[in-house]
Structure 1
Amino acid sequence: MKIASRMENLSPSVTMAITALARELKAQGKDILSFSAGEPDFDTPEVIKEAAIKAIKNGHTKYTAVEGTIETKKAIIKKLKTDHGLEYNLDEIIVSNGAKHSLFNLFQCLIEEGDEVIIPAPYWVTYPEQVKYSGGTPVFIETDDSTEFKITAEQLKAAITPKTKVLLLNTPSNPSGAVYTKDELLSLAEVLKGTDILVFTDEMYEKIIYDGNKFTAVASVNEDMFQRTITINGISKAVAMTGWRYGYVATAHKALVKAMTKLQGQVTSNVNSITLQAAVTALDGSADADIEKMRKEFEKRRDVAVQSFNDIKGISCVKPQGAFYLFVNIKEIGGDSMKFCADLLEKEGVAVVPGLAFGTEGYFRFSFATDLATIEEGIKRVKKFVEENYS
């Protein structure tokens, strides 16, 4: 049997692989603390679980519309209007099996051989892989601690070529936790003005924002950006529903939604019918108190983790403004993230993800989506590892 050649250039997810390895080692009886998964440790709020149970009892167990039910799309429309002042119609929304599926559909429907997609680094591991699989070429813009891992208008302008089709923004960012302000987005918008470049904006972590800051949706900064922006979002992170598989796209381009629906209809059909019902409750404000409770706990963990890492000689990290990750700088002690993470797992039983997986060497990603006691013990082990191996 010969595997299709298009699979040769597709790399496996490093984050998934490390998470799986950590679970396997733990199952073998080894003392493993894993900070590799991008998944809240909180349970799905009760009000949402009750909505799902009610859906089952009421017989919502049949096929539904490929692009999502009217009820769930109305909930998305209301949410985007309430939160960001954005107005969409039913035929400008499509629901898919998680945001990763939404992105895949987008790239498949829009990217052709030779098209360039600008991706700020560090980036979520899936972005460049899906671009390449779709025949496109990822073009990376490097960032670091000095700009809090955000690109500048000058960098964007320099990266644009006649082949540029898409700018992909992730705010708040996985893995850095970077959050673009309205002014920063406006400066990027000015560069794009007068071009045909689309903006894909992954806003999955929008509800996980710290220090009293307000999240700015990319599509909301001005009318020009609204027209060119394709928003990808979902309920996995903020509402602790990773396993439910629900992502959505909102765009003013009705033809794009139609194309995505056609593709999805031949691949997966509809999202799980129970999830569709539960998502309405997740989006309509019923779980807002639960979301805020989780956000506050994440903020508390962030503060402890940032302080603890910055107390370790030789490593440092900037304080993220969103999401639940730290992107920890290890350049002072060598910067080989693959070796650092492999040795840390072997010697101290701590699983983190090398920065190289996110396109930025010299760092590792640490997820603080776990309890405070585990975080404190994990960083204590990192401190011991650094002192014994890099002093």
Structure 2
Amino acid sequence: MLSQRIRELKPAATLEINAKRLELIDQGREIINFGVGEPDFDTPEFVRRAAQDAIDHGWTRYTPVPGVAALREAVASQVSKTRGVGVDASEVIITNGAKHALAQALLARVDRGDEVLIPSPYWVSYPEMVRVCEGQPVAVPTSAADRYKVTPSTLEPFVSPRTVGLILNSPNNPTGAVYQRDELDALLAFAEENDLWVLSDEIYEDFVYDGVFASAWTEESRRSTMLVSGVSKSYAMTGWRIGWLVAEPGFVKQLTRLQSHTSSNATSVSQAAALAALSEDGRSFCHSMLDRFRHRRSRTVELLGAIDGVVVEPPQGAFYVFCDVTGVLERPGAPSTSQELCLAALDRAGVALVPGEAFGVERALRLSYACSTANIEKGIEALRRYFDELS
């Protein structure tokens, strides 16, 4: 017999589409994958070499549960530089990817019946993580009109005596929204006024195209804010599974206690690779990748914006475009939901997309431009032809 928390866990809304995509590939169909949430670049050679050196020198045993000292210090140094707030290694725990950090933070913060505010559209795992902790996720709707951002006034109606925390994600998956410094400061002040902790997922911190990155980790908020990031996106290291959480030392100590009973340390070889990534060579790689993504973003927005019935809010960050497809779904020959539309587009156009339902929003879809410009142009043209057939 499975536990109730597992029985109630919802499967990812992308599973049906991904299964169909793999089926079509097995049949010999060419599928352009706009659903993937990872850079299409190889992990830098100097990072791979560092991992090999670690293996060759026997660095394959247990490490301290919160991570090797050198990596914790490197993360603390990077966060200090990028946030302008001094961070000590005692405020850092290394985890098995950013997702692991998020899940552990919620396990440490959420009790049965606690409510957690989550701006919608949201990354697919946030609500389910809260439910696993026996908490109640509370979706706070946003729209293209407000650039998919929440404000204190939009959060206020959703606060109850059971509300304990707020999850923020900037740059955002799936919308590409990026909060500015003044917007974040207002949200942090709201959280303090309502005695809420803030869990800030900043995994896309290096993918900002308009303006500059702003963090929820500030001198004023550091006692109630947990910052999560990692190497997956910035250094094309999704499979290496290294993330981290930055918080006040007492909380990190308690997370270390939790992690000691679950995963123990993050993979030793991956920690060596991450340490190499957090170098000047790593920053150069990241800047080069950002330039490529900036061009792809412009081309993607241009092509999607030219399709009748598709409304595009140009993303400020990350590497996704979130589209309103109400105009397409209202056509006589169209499917009735964006989930069905994405399944049909996969079959008819050979294009894999993620429906808005996966992110808590109907009549929308997410497209990742983490692929070549040639595939972007080819895939969106195929999508346009399919949508035109629905008229």
TM normalised by structure 1 equals 0.95
1:8 aligns with 2:4: no
Q: Counterpart in 1 of 2:316?
A: 321
Report matched runs for 1:42-57 at 5 Å: 42-57=41-56
Looking at structure 2, the residues matched to 18 and 232 of structure 1 have their Cα atoms a distance apart, in angstroms, of: 29
What are the superposed Cα offsets for residues 133-190 of structure 1, whole Å, 9 maximum, x if unpaired? 1010011110111111111220122222221111000000000010000011122123
Amino acid at match of 2:325: I
* SS of aligned partner of 1:271: coil
Q: Counterpart in 1 of 2:334?
A: none
Amino acid at match of 1:247: G
CA contact (8 A) 1:18 1:36 kept: no
Q: Counterpart in 2 of 1:295?
A: 290
Looking at structure 2, the residues matched to 15 and 47 of structure 1 have their Cα atoms a distance apart, in angstroms, of: 34
Amino acid at match of 1:26: I
Amino acid at match of 1:232: V
* SS of aligned partner of 1:177: coil
Looking at structure 1, the residues matched to 86 and 318 of structure 2 have their Cα atoms a distance apart, in angstroms, of: 26
Amino acid at match of 1:271: A
Amino acid at match of 1:204: I
What are the superposed Cα offsets for residues 253-306 of structure 1, whole Å, 9 maximum, x if unpaired? x23212221221111111110111111121233211111111111110110010
Deviation at 1:384, TM superposition (A): 0.6
Q: Counterpart in 1 of 2:17?
A: 18
Looking at structure 2, the residues matched to 303 and 215 of structure 1 have their Cα atoms a distance apart, in angstroms, of: 19
Looking at structure 1, the residues matched to 280 and 197 of structure 2 have their Cα atoms a distance apart, in angstroms, of: 30
What are the superposed Cα offsets for residues 215-253 of structure 1, whole Å, 9 maximum, x if unpaired? 011113xx332221100100101110000000100001x
* SS of aligned partner of 1:230: strand
CA contact (8 A) 1:177 1:320 kept: yes
* SS of aligned partner of 1:224: coil
Looking at structure 1, the residues matched to 108 and 185 of structure 2 have their Cα atoms a distance apart, in angstroms, of: 27
Deviation at 1:3, TM superposition (A): 2.3
Structure 1 residues 70 and 181, CA gap change in structure 2 (3 angstroms): same
Amino acid at match of 1:185: L
What are the superposed Cα offsets for residues 28-84 of structure 1, whole Å, 9 maximum, x if unpaired? 311211111101100011121111111112211111111101011000000011111
Looking at structure 2, the residues matched to 19 and 289 of structure 1 have their Cα atoms a distance apart, in angstroms, of: 34
CA contact (8 A) 1:193 1:224 kept: no
Q: Counterpart in 1 of 2:29?
A: 30
Structure 1 residues 24 and 245, CA gap change in structure 2 (3 angstroms): farther
* SS of aligned partner of 1:304: helix
Structure 1 residues 20 and 74, CA gap change in structure 2 (3 angstroms): farther
Amino acid at match of 2:117: I
Of 223, 230, 237, which aligns to 1:241?
237
* SS of aligned partner of 1:14: coil
Q: Counterpart in 1 of 2:129?
A: 130
What are the superposed Cα offsets for residues 106-134 of structure 1, whole Å, 9 maximum, x if unpaired? 11111001111000000000000000010
Looking at structure 1, the residues matched to 240 and 86 of structure 2 have their Cα atoms a distance apart, in angstroms, of: 26
CA contact (8 A) 1:19 1:34 kept: no
Structure 1 residues 374 and 315, CA gap change in structure 2 (3 angstroms): same
Looking at structure 1, the residues matched to 265 and 69 of structure 2 have their Cα atoms a distance apart, in angstroms, of: 13
Q: Counterpart in 1 of 2:160?
A: 161
Q: Counterpart in 1 of 2:375?
A: 374
CA contact (8 A) 2:5 2:131 kept: no
Looking at structure 1, the residues matched to 296 and 206 of structure 2 have their Cα atoms a distance apart, in angstroms, of: 16
Report matched runs for 1:181-220 at 5 Å: 181-211=180-210, 213-220=211-218
Deviation at 1:27, TM superposition (A): 2.9
Task: Structure 2: give runs of 5+ residues left out of the alignment.
Answer: 331-336
CA contact (8 A) 2:309 2:327 kept: yes
1:306 aligns with 2:304: no
Q: Counterpart in 2 of 1:349?
A: 350
* Larger CA deviation: 284-293 vs 361-370: 284-293
1:172 aligns with 2:196: no
Looking at structure 2, the residues matched to 240 and 174 of structure 1 have their Cα atoms a distance apart, in angstroms, of: 17
Looking at structure 2, the residues matched to 104 and 332 of structure 1 have their Cα atoms a distance apart, in angstroms, of: 37
* SS of aligned partner of 1:219: coil
Amino acid at match of 2:345: L
Looking at structure 2, the residues matched to 78 and 13 of structure 1 have their Cα atoms a distance apart, in angstroms, of: 36
Cα root mean square deviation, aligned: 1.4
Looking at structure 1, the residues matched to 201 and 173 of structure 2 have their Cα atoms a distance apart, in angstroms, of: 10
Amino acid at match of 2:288: K
1:229 aligns with 2:228: no
Looking at structure 2, the residues matched to 259 and 388 of structure 1 have their Cα atoms a distance apart, in angstroms, of: 57
Identity within the alignment, %: 38
Looking at structure 1, the residues matched to 222 and 204 of structure 2 have their Cα atoms a distance apart, in angstroms, of: 20
Amino acid at match of 1:365: R
CA contact (8 A) 2:310 2:323 kept: yes
Structure 1 residues 15 and 260, CA gap change in structure 2 (3 angstroms): farther
Looking at structure 2, the residues matched to 193 and 10 of structure 1 have their Cα atoms a distance apart, in angstroms, of: 31
Task: Structure 1: give runs of 5+ residues left out of the alignment.
Answer: none
Amino acid at match of 2:341: F
CA contact (8 A) 1:230 1:250 kept: yes
Amino acid at match of 1:234: G
Looking at structure 1, the residues matched to 20 and 255 of structure 2 have their Cα atoms a distance apart, in angstroms, of: 34
Looking at structure 1, the residues matched to 21 and 38 of structure 2 have their Cα atoms a distance apart, in angstroms, of: 14
* SS of aligned partner of 1:200: strand
